[in-house]
Amino acid sequence: MPRLMNGAELAGEIVERAAKRAASFLEKTGRKPCLATVLVGDDPASVTYVRMKQRRCAGAGVESRHVQLPAATTTAEAVAQVRELSEDPAVDGILVQHPVPAHVDERAVFEAIAPGKDVDGVTMHSFAAMALGEPGFLSCTPGGILRLLDAHGVEIEGKHAVVIGRSPILGKPAALLLLARNATVTVCHSRTADLKAVVRTADIVVAAVGKPEFVRGEWLKPGAAVVDAGYNPGNVGDVDFKSAEPVAGWLTPVPGGVGPTTIAVLLEQTVEAAWEGNSTPR
């Protein structure tokens, strides 16, 4: 039976520390750190995510300001709105909820976020910083994954990590962060010839593919640490928990694994941005 990587508990610890730093910030500056959330359209899942993030903000003494844009918003309008937030000294962090409607150029909207406020780690600058070991904010889910592994003492250096999925905000940054920690890293995806055989060689598996219960226990090397970064409708992850449970050495539950740590890292980085923005121009 695997040991569970408890994301809720870890997230609680991270948020507690962030809340203390948010309180000191309030004491010093007379205002709370502020996260602006931007949602284009009204996708129900996105609405839920944004509300959850706002609730967590409130719980940690972080103000949240929500900008709701209609589904018909143009790229130019969304960019202008985000740019305004980037220039607003009362806003410390900006989160543009992914995905935006198909007619909006998401990359352009992301790039309108000032690097110093990119607390969700979605800009090209943050991506390159993550990849090249330069200072910057992490993409929250990959950042949370590393925290989960570390909190549970899962060794990374010298291990073979297999990341399934290569999205700009999850698979690729997760691979690069694991590489920075001296794992040997393989990135797999829909065109990978024999996925099961590759997964079988992994000491650490990160499933970030967005297919419910896709990764099966039979694919795993016994004892592997399995991180399920999937979050599909009905609270179902990318890993088939039932078949993985008898084989994996470590396993994240869904929900209660990667999800809570993602939001915790977001909060932590927002408070960090507030402190940094308050001491240096941005």
Question: Which residues of this protein are in contact with a second copy, per CB under 8 A?
Answer: 107, 124-125, 127-129, 131-132, 134, 157-160, 166, 168, 172, 175-176, 179, 182, 184-189, 191-193, 198
Q: Closer to a second copy by CB, 152 or 166: give it.
A: 166
CA distance 269 to 42: 26
Of 32, 53, 117, 221, the catalytic one is: 53
CA distance 250 to 273: 33
97 a catalytic residue:
yes
Minimum gap (Å) between residue 127 Cβ and a second copy: 5
CA distance 12 to 221: 31
CA distance 101 to 39: 10
Cis ω before 33 (30° cut-off from 0): no
CA distance 206 to 85: 34
CA distance 163 to 230: 12
* 80: Cβ contacts below 8 Å, ≥ 6 apart: 112
Cβ pair 161, 187 in contact under 8 A: no
Element (H, E) at 95: strand 93-96
Q: Residue 102 — φ and ψ, nearest 5°? A: -60, -30
166 belongs to an annotated ligand binding site = yes
CA distance 123 to 220: 34
242 a catalytic residue:
no
Alpha carbon of residue 33 to chain centroid: 20
190 belongs to an annotated ligand binding site = no
Of 92, 118, 120, 240, the catalytic one is: 120
Q: Closer to a second copy by CB, 102 or 193: give it.
A: 193
Q: Closer to a second copy by CB, 54 or 184: give it.
A: 184
Q: Closer to a second copy by CB, 57 or 175: give it.
A: 175
Strand partners, 208: none
Cα–Cα separations (whole angstroms), residue 155 to 81, 203, 248, 253: 43, 9, 15, 19
120 a catalytic residue:
yes
Minimum gap (Å) between residue 211 Cβ and a second copy: 17
Q: Closer to a second copy by CB, 11 or 122: give it.
A: 122
167 belongs to an annotated ligand binding site = yes
Minimum gap (Å) between residue 105 Cβ and a second copy: 11
Minimum gap (Å) between residue 234 Cβ and a second copy: 30
Minimum gap (Å) between residue 98 Cβ and a second copy: 14
Residue ranges for the binding site? 165-167
Residue ranges for the binding site for NADP(+)? 165-167
Query: Which residues does the annotation mark as catalytic?
Result: 53, 97, 120
